[in-house]
Structure 1
Amino acid sequence: MSNVSQKTVVTEVEQMENTHHNLPVPTLVEKVLSRNEGILTSTGAIRATTGKYTGRSPKDKFIVRDSLSENKVEWGSVNQPISADVFLNLYHKVVQYLKEKDETFSFKGYAGADQNLRLPIQVVTEYAWHNLFADQMFIRPTDEELQYHQSGFTVVSAPTFKADPEIDGTHSEAFVMISFEHKIVLIGGTEYAGEIKKSIFSVMNYILPERDILSMHCSANVGVEGDVALFFGLSGTGKTTLSADPERKLIGDDEHAWSNNGVFNIEGGCYAKCINLSEEKEPQIFNAIRFGSVLENVVIDEKSRVADYDDTTLTENTRAAYSIDNIDNIVQPSIAGHPRTIVFLTADAFGVLPPISKLTKEQAMYHFLSGYTSKLAGTERGVTSPEATFSTCFGAPFLPLPAATYAQMLGEKIDQFSANVFLVNTGWTGGPYGEGKRMDLNHTRAMVHAALGGELDNVETEVDPYFGLAIPTHCPGVPSQVLTPKKTWEQPEEYDQKAKELATKFHENFKKFNHITEDIQNAGPIYRP
């Protein structure tokens, strides 16, 4: 069965007679409501819940191991292999399952704002609200483009189809499978819409580097003078929040590519964490959640239908999906020049990394490869409190190729375009998680603005004794003692202990990288156990 052609497989989806194609948003909203898949909130957004799967399920994600992927994919716990026969058997079951439904839904659009480099995609879903999600998240075609659209990759999502691990070769009832040969993503057993978004990102991370284009898990914006900034970081570190800046135009909030022409957004929407969201702190995001948007696992007042963004009853990983057009100051289309400033965001649960530091190129490569942050509660199943973690290139769960592929490309572009790189800690200060407090968002914004505006280019710095990072001694709008983490701790000796502990974790993690030049290896923490 593994010799079934890609055309045959895709045709099976195309010939499903019960499918609604590219329904307009109002019609999709009506479908969601009539099918009792969600409720209408006070702003006109749809609220849906996802049951027990309130985050990605990384242990249930697979890539089909075949002649195409065998020698390209970095196989392991992230990119788990599965055979083509197992994939196809399950695929045919899912398609037959969907054919027996009264109706299914198809969205055809694009991944990639650059018309010369984009990937035509199709998302076929059992749920109307998942199709509404796809409409918000990806790039919508014009009527003319829709007539000639031919999908380069197809997502098939059947949340109520539960796999049998003993029969179907999965680890649980849930599964996310990518076949690069058949150009299919197969999703089942989970209602979490983020799997649709991230599976296409994984596909782009496989396809783009082969075309000498760097795919990146980052947000991006541009200033009035055309100065582009990138913000790397895992979920919950502030990519969306910090890139939604009223003084700069948004290119995108999560996924981008860097070609020889500059930066372009992979998506057509935003998927923002909205825990503790308020109009005062994040007005652009707050006001973007309107008719057509999707709220995922947000608690809603039954009478007023007003969202309670502070309520974590369902999960801390509450989400809002909305079209990027819902934000006023955006770049249209989502394309800009080469970055002048790159910001690595980390949420340090130890509370010892400085809130901002300037990186040399070698330090930039070290911290890009390290990808240190804390997994925040709810982002993945089983994570209930922040855990220190290292996610290569700030996006390891979505990178099919070896890490060195992406790191080498970034290093070359930093050199080629003379980009300044900063490490920004949006995590804890004054103590570790549970004792200290989260960084003040206003302080973080002030530091980022200073970095983007060039105000930190020539500022005096002091070297952190444990991590070797250059810490600015002053920054407009930020108290000086906030800039040096040790000064924010009541017990300095406890800071020393935690700093040594984190530095040790950096060194232990970096041992996994082979063939890394000595100058990059030596760019890590000064302290060595």
Structure 2
Amino acid sequence: MNTVDKSIKLAELLQLEAVQHNLSVPRLVEKVLERQEGTLTATGAVQVHTGKYTGRSPQDKFIVDEESVTSKIDWGNVNQPFSAELFDSLYNKVLRYLSEQDELFTFNGFAGADARYRLPILVVNEYAWHNLFAKQLFIRPTEEELAEHDPQFTIISAPGFKADPAVDGTHSETFIIVSFERKVILIGGTEYAGEMKKSIFSIMNYLLPEQNILPMHCSANVGTEGDVALFFGLSGTGKTTLSADPKRRLIGDDEHGWSSSGVFNIEGGCYAKCVNLSEEKEPQIYNAIRFGAVLENVVVNEDSRLPDYDDVSLTENTRAAYPLQAIDNIVDPSVAGHPTTIIFLTADAFGVLPPISRLTKEQAMYHFLSGYTSKLAGTERGITSPVATFSTCFGSPFLPRRAGEYAKMLGEMIDQHNVSVYLVNTGWTGGEYGVGQRMKLQYTRSMVQAALEGELRNAETVQDQIFGLQVPTHVPGVPDEVLQPAKAWKDPQAYEVKAQELAMKFKDNFKHFSEGLDAIKNAGGPLI
């Protein structure tokens, strides 16, 4: 018996009458409300729920194991292989599913603000609010650019399609699968829109190094003299707070590329955390959440329709998506020159890292590869004392290639452009968490300002005897004794024990790098 071919090509899908192409923000907001996908808040933002998935699903993320990329991917728990045959089967199922929907939404745009290196992308969405999210997060084309737009990568997002792991080869109903040969990102079974944003960042982390461009998980700003600064740091280290400087213009808050011409933002918007958001603490973010913005999992008062950013009953990972243009004091387009200063931020709950230290190139590469901060006691069940957390290159979930490739590129850029690099500890001083106190924000701001203004480039330093870091003896606005962790502790022996403990954690973490990084380990790591 002949079987009926039920496959459908993407080009055919896009020609269907149900497809709404490149709707404006107001029309997308209307669609969200009309389809009852979300509600309108008092600020004009759209509030939506993402269902049971309120964050990324890293265990459900795969890369198709294809001949052209297999030797370049750092396969493992982060980059899980998926067979090409299973991908093709699932791809066809998703397209058929989408072809049966009453409405679909597309967005044509770019990843990469520098026109020389940008990636034209197409986003196909089952949900109107996902399409609104894409329009706010990626770079919108002009009318002229849209007329000539030729997508080089396509996101296909079908939250309503659930995979069958036994048949489809996934781990659950949810899947985020990248095929570099087919130039497709296939997403299903999850309503969390952040999967689209981070999938594009992941493919840029693969594609940009082939153009000799370093992709970076960092924020970036520029001063009045054109001096560019990069801020790397994991959650809770103060990256957003310290990079949002009224005296400096924002290039971008999360994803950047560093080319032979300088730095450019990969995105066209911001995906900001909203937990405990207030106008007083973060006025830029607070005031950017207006008409067209998307609020994910933020609780809203039923009567007043005002967001309650302190209510985390749905999740602590509440988010707002809005275009960069909603913020004052930005660089538009988001392109600038080469960095003069790089800041690595860490919140050391062990209380032993210096509040600021100047790094050699090898130390910069070492701490870039380490991506250290710490989880605090009480933040997770079973954690009774600070836990060291390492995220390679400050973004391990999004790195398809081997970490050494990114670190090598960073070292070359530092050398070529004579960049000053600093490690800034926004964590604890005078003792570990529960004994000491959090570093005063005013001190951290003074240290960062001194670094950005070049005051510490040739400042007198002393070497930290455990971590080998060069610590300034004086920073304007900061008491000298604060700069030396050992002096800030009342019990020198207790400091020595904690410092040795953290140094060993750095060394243990570095053991999993197997790609010939001994020189960096020996020259950049702790001295013990």
**TM-score exceeds 0.5:** yes
Q: Deviations over 1:233-287 (max 9, x none)?
A: 2344333332221101111111111111111111101112222222222222222
Structure 2 residue aligned with 1:526? 527
Report the CA distance shift for 1:122/1:496 in structure 2 as closer, same or farther (over 3 A): same
Structure 2 residue aligned with 1:197? 197
CA drift of 1:419 comes to 0.1
Separation of aligned partners in 2, 1:437 and 1:422: 22
Separation of aligned partners in 1, 2:375 and 2:156: 28
Matched, 1:222 2:257: no
- What SS does the corresponding residue of 2:197 show, helix, strand or coil? helix
Q: How does 1:335-414 map to 2 (within 5 A)?
A: 335-374=335-374, 387-414=387-414
Q: Deviations over 1:140-170 (max 9, x none)?
A: 0111211111111010111222212111111
What is the one-letter code of the residue matched to 1:233?
G
What is the one-letter code of the residue matched to 1:37?
E
Structure 1 residue aligned with 2:459? 459
Structure 1 residue aligned with 2:3? none
CA drift of 1:20 comes to 1.1
Q: Deviations over 1:338-392 (max 9, x none)?
A: 1100111223343332222111111111111112124699x99x99998532221
What is the one-letter code of the residue matched to 1:220?
A
Report the CA distance shift for 1:111/1:443 in structure 2 as closer, same or farther (over 3 A): same
Structure 2 residue aligned with 1:151? 151
Q: Is the 8 A contact 1:240 1:254 kept in 2?
A: no
- What SS does the corresponding residue of 1:145 show, helix, strand or coil? helix
Report the CA distance shift for 1:343/1:154 in structure 2 as closer, same or farther (over 3 A): same
Matched, 1:330 2:316: no
Shifted more, 439-448 versus 255-264: the winner is: 439-448
Matched, 1:508 2:508: yes
- What SS does the corresponding residue of 1:134 show, helix, strand or coil? helix
Separation of aligned partners in 1, 2:468 and 2:13: 55
Report the CA distance shift for 1:192/1:492 in structure 2 as closer, same or farther (over 3 A): farther
Separation of aligned partners in 2, 1:211 and 1:314: 42
Separation of aligned partners in 1, 2:498 and 2:525: 16
Report the CA distance shift for 1:16/1:429 in structure 2 as closer, same or farther (over 3 A): farther
What is the one-letter code of the residue matched to 1:522?
A
Q: Is the 8 A contact 1:366 1:521 kept in 2?
A: no
Q: Is the 8 A contact 2:22 2:107 kept in 1?
A: yes
Q: How does 1:4-15 map to 2 (within 5 A)?
A: 10-15=10-15
Separation of aligned partners in 2, 1:169 and 1:383: 35
Structure 1 residue aligned with 2:208? 208
Q: Is the 8 A contact 1:252 1:267 kept in 2?
A: yes
Structure 2 residue aligned with 1:174? 174
Separation of aligned partners in 2, 1:375 and 1:121: 36
Percent identical among aligned pairs is: 69
What is the one-letter code of the residue matched to 1:287?
N
CA drift of 1:129 comes to 1.2
Structure 2 residue aligned with 1:4? none
Q: Is the 8 A contact 2:510 2:521 kept in 1?
A: no
Aligned length: 520
- What SS does the corresponding residue of 1:522 show, helix, strand or coil? helix
What is the one-letter code of the residue matched to 2:524?
A
Q: Deviations over 1:192-249 (max 9, x none)?
A: 1111100000111111111111111111111100101111223443333322211011
Q: Is the 8 A contact 2:215 2:258 kept in 1?
A: yes
Structure 2 residue aligned with 1:248? 248
- What SS does the corresponding residue of 2:365 show, helix, strand or coil? helix
What is the one-letter code of the residue matched to 1:22?
N
Report the CA distance shift for 1:42/1:50 in structure 2 as closer, same or farther (over 3 A): same
Separation of aligned partners in 1, 2:9 and 2:482: 57
TM-score by length of 2: 0.92
Q: Is the 8 A contact 1:239 1:254 kept in 2?
A: no
Matched, 1:115 2:115: yes
Structure 2 residue aligned with 1:291? 291
Structure 2 residue aligned with 1:24? 24
Structure with greater Cα Rg: 2
Structure 2 residue aligned with 1:126? 126
Q: Is the 8 A contact 1:221 1:249 kept in 2?
A: yes
Shifted more, 481-490 versus 310-319: the winner is: 481-490
Report the CA distance shift for 1:443/1:169 in structure 2 as closer, same or farther (over 3 A): same
What is the one-letter code of the residue matched to 1:117?
Y
Matched, 1:165 2:185: no
Separation of aligned partners in 1, 2:450 and 2:211: 35
RMSD, aligned α-carbons? 2.6
Report the CA distance shift for 1:282/1:486 in structure 2 as closer, same or farther (over 3 A): farther
Report the CA distance shift for 1:486/1:335 in structure 2 as closer, same or farther (over 3 A): same
Q: Is the 8 A contact 1:66 1:84 kept in 2?
A: yes
Q: Deviations over 1:476-525 (max 9, x none)?
A: 33344443334555655443333222111111111222312435423211
Report the CA distance shift for 1:387/1:133 in structure 2 as closer, same or farther (over 3 A): farther
CA drift of 1:133 comes to 0.9
Separation of aligned partners in 2, 1:61 and 1:91: 15
Report the CA distance shift for 1:280/1:491 in structure 2 as closer, same or farther (over 3 A): farther
Separation of aligned partners in 2, 1:439 and 1:187: 41
Q: Is the 8 A contact 2:388 2:505 kept in 1?
A: no
Separation of aligned partners in 2, 1:107 and 1:177: 20
Structure 2 residue aligned with 1:5? none
Separation of aligned partners in 2, 1:20 and 1:338: 40
TM-score by length of 1: 0.92
Separation of aligned partners in 2, 1:230 and 1:120: 25
Shifted more, 15-24 versus 79-88: the winner is: 15-24
Q: Is the 8 A contact 2:376 2:433 kept in 1?
A: no
What is the one-letter code of the residue matched to 1:226?
G
Shifted more, 186-195 versus 30-39: the winner is: 30-39
Q: Is the 8 A contact 2:274 2:309 kept in 1?
A: yes
Report the CA distance shift for 1:294/1:150 in structure 2 as closer, same or farther (over 3 A): same
Matched, 1:426 2:422: no
Separation of aligned partners in 2, 1:456 and 1:19: 57
Separation of aligned partners in 2, 1:33 and 1:452: 46
Q: Deviations over 1:16-71 (max 9, x none)?
A: 43221111111111111222222222221112222222221111100000112111
